[in-house]
Amino acid sequence: MTKAALNHVALTVSDRERSADFYATYFGFLEPVHEDDHLLILTGQGGGLLALSGGDVASVWPRTTHFGFQLDSAEEVRLLREKFAQDGVEEAEWQEKGPTRVQVFDPDGYRVEAYGWQ
């Protein structure tokens, strides 16, 4: 079996700039790699790419559909959770046992997880 690393996530979003701001603010996707009328691709210090395309977004997703970011520690997750709360970002789930993790909804309702180990 080939060892594979996840390289990118592509999302259809209702407002590219709003989504770009969200992922820049909370997950460090600050650097545009490509931008045209249809697609904005961002990267950040953690590596990987986030591709944002404008369009119609589904209104309902299964609870288990999400993607996640591993942080360096559980404490970083707690601090990010506080920032989400201060900024009014809607929390979907919180867990302290096992990995500490928080799931929130991005501006289009996608579940995004941040997790870290003790």
Q: Using CA atoms, how far apart are residues 81 and 96, in angstroms rounded to an integer?
A: 12
Structure tokens, 60: 């309902």
Give yes or no for residue 54 having a pLDDT over 80.
yes
> Secondary structure of the chain: what % helix, strand, coil (to 5)?
20, 40, 40
pLDDT, position 3: 74
| Domains contained in the chain, CATH given | 8-57 (3.10.180.10), 64-118 (3.10.180.10)
In tens, the pLDDT along 55-71 reads: 999 888 888 889 999 99
pLDDT digits (tens, 9 = 90+) for 4-17: 677 899 999 999 99
* Alpha-carbon gap, residue 99 to 87, rounded angstroms: 24
67-89: average pLDDT: 96
Total-model pTM: 0.91
Sign for the pseudo-dihedral over CA of 92, 96, 97, 102: positive
Q: Which residue type sits at 8?
A: H
